[in-house]
Amino acid sequence: GEDVEQSLFLSVREGDSSVINCTYTDSSSTYLYWYKQEPGAGLQLLTYIFSNMDMKQDQRLTVLLNKKDKHLSLRIADTQTGDSAIYFCAESLTGGSYIPTFGRGTSLIVHP
């Protein structure tokens, strides 16, 4: 099976909260990331969390990490149409080499 799994689609109404979930398999993962990809663009790092943390908040974004269950989530408060994009979860190990393993991405569709 895949190392990082995400659901493929999420549809929410503008103004609601979005929660994108991700599970990973490597318990030695040290860094966990959320990237955003808008149409025709590369990936933009939204936020990341170290494995020794269980929560990180940055404005409208909240990342929750359940290390025991290897579950990561990204909550976007007050979701806007501009948040429509593909969101990728990724994990990587330490060791000085940045080789993250990505999930397949979750397409977030925000409708009025």
Partner 1 sequence: KAGVTQTPRYLIKTRGQQVTLSCSPISGHRSVSWYQQTPGQGLQFLFEYFSETQRNKGNFPGRFSGRQFSNSRSEMNVSTLELGDSALYLCASSSLSAGNTEAFFGQGTRLTVV
Residues making contact with partner 1 (CB under 8 A): 31, 35, 40-45, 48, 88, 92, 96-105
Closest approach of Cβ 112 to partner 1, in Å? Answer: 27
In whole angstroms, what is the distance from residue 107 CA to residue 20 CA?
A: 9
Q: Angle 53-5-101 (CA atoms, 0-180°, nearest 5)? A: 70
Closest approach of Cβ 78 to partner 1, in Å? Answer: 25
For residues 55 and 99, which CB has a smaller minimum distance to partner 1 in the complex?
Answer: 99
Quick one: which of 108, 82, 81, 86 has its CA closest to 14?
Answer: 81
Closest approach of Cβ 34 to partner 1, in Å? Answer: 12
Q: Are 34 and 74 in contact (CB under 8 A)?
A: yes
Q: Which residues pair with 55 in a beta bridge?
A: 64
Closest approach of Cβ 28 to partner 1, in Å? Answer: 15
Q: Which residues pair with 63 in a beta bridge?
A: 56, 74
Q: Are 7 and 106 in contact (CB under 8 A)?
A: yes
